[in-house]
Amino acid sequence: METRLLRTFTALAKAGSFTAAAAELHLAQSTVTVQVRSLERELGTRLFDRLPTGALLTSAGRRLLEEAETMLDAEARLRATAAAGNGDGAVEGQVAVGAGESLCASRLPGVIASLRRTHPGIDVHLRPVGSAAAVEGLRAGRLDIALLLEPEVNAADLVARPIAREPLVYAASPDHPLAGRTVGWEELAGESFFVHEEGCSYSDHLVRTLLALPGPQPRLTRFGSIEAARSCVAAGLGLTLLPRATVEQQLRDGVLAMVDAPEIPPVPVQLAQHRRRWVAPAARIVADELTRLIPA
């Protein structure tokens, strides 16, 4: 049995549509269709129900998916073992790492630079994604490692461990009335806030707390981009709560100023991987470097 057919099968099972699977595999949609039909003929069973909304695994397809992933992992282990026996033994390979925008901008460039010096054969593909997309990426096999800014990771098919903590700060324009002051929740209640998109654990915590306060309701604007939130705050339009690493330069340059407001606990950085999937040597090295070099 050709493993390329299994690879197409698993990609379609995760993507849920022939179009999305073709894009992920860099194949024509007709090629994905032909390969899936070939695998169904070889196995003697229908793997997908073709629906107007996409491709849905049949009961047989669901049973076979885990076995297909096991076979693909075995192929990857075989190739890695063969590669380790050739040349000078240097570890090589591609590793896909998913992380939130703040980590991608502030913490990961230094890790990647270190890896290029110590392991030039390892190619790290950095993908800025939110927590939900990172978890889905691990499950679909698009990511080898995810860094999640979450207090905890409750997913039975993932294994996660905290490797660092990100301190959070309130920031405002230096001309904002609250800049440089010590304030309580009652003074924050009626302010305008520019915060990260829904699903961001520390932003969600802040929004829940503000909306539960008595009195005037805050004006809340949520962005998918930290840069957009910083820009609005620097223009004097309100406050934000962000990881300190994402505003350190702006604070030093005087573009932003801190507000001494009630503390939101530092958010853990969780290193997550799929529990069942084999971890290639290159991915193990990247995980070790992330643990070593991201400040605890």
What's the CATH code of the domain at 246? 3.40.190.10
My answer on whether 152 and 278 are in the same domain is yes
Instruction: Write down the pLDDT at residue 82.
Output: 66
Domain that includes residue 25, residue range: 3-84
Q: What is the 3-state secondary structure (H, E, C) of 46-107?
A: CCEEEECCEEEECHHHHHHHHHHHHHHHHHHHHHHHHHHCCCCCCCCEEEEEEECHHHHHHC
Q: How many CB atoms lie within 10 A of CB 138?
A: 26
Among 145, 179, 190, 187, CA closest to 247: 179
Q: Which two tokens stand for residue 43?
A: 């196995």
CB 270 within 8 A of CB 153: yes
My answer on whether 176 and 253 are in the same domain is yes
**What pLDDT digit, counting tens, does each position of 235-254 carry?**
999 999 999 988 999 999 99
Average pLDDT in the 144-160 region?
A: 92
Average pLDDT in the 119-135 region?
A: 90
* Number of domain units in the chain: 3
My answer on whether 34 and 146 are in the same domain is no
Instruction: Write down the pLDDT at residue 86.
Output: 54
My answer on whether 172 and 113 are in the same domain is no
My answer on whether 122 and 204 are in the same domain is no
CB 194 within 8 A of CB 257: no
pLDDT band at 49 (very low <50, low <70, confident <90, very high): very high
Over the chain, what is the mean pLDDT?
Answer: 89
pLDDT: is 70 or 195 the higher one?
195
Average pLDDT in the 154-161 region?
A: 92
My answer on whether 200 and 257 are in the same domain is yes
Domain of 60: which CATH number? 1.10.10.10
pTM (predicted TM-score): 0.74
My answer on whether 158 and 202 are in the same domain is no
Between strands 122-128 and 93-99, the pairing is parallel
**Exposed e or buried b per residue across 185-218, where buried means at least 16 C-beta atoms within 10 angstroms of its C-beta:** eeebbebebbbbeeebbbbebbbeebeeeeeeeb
Instruction: Write down the pLDDT at residue 296.
Output: 63
My answer on whether 125 and 272 are in the same domain is yes
My answer on whether 127 and 179 are in the same domain is no
My answer on whether 205 and 181 are in the same domain is yes
My answer on whether 118 and 253 are in the same domain is no
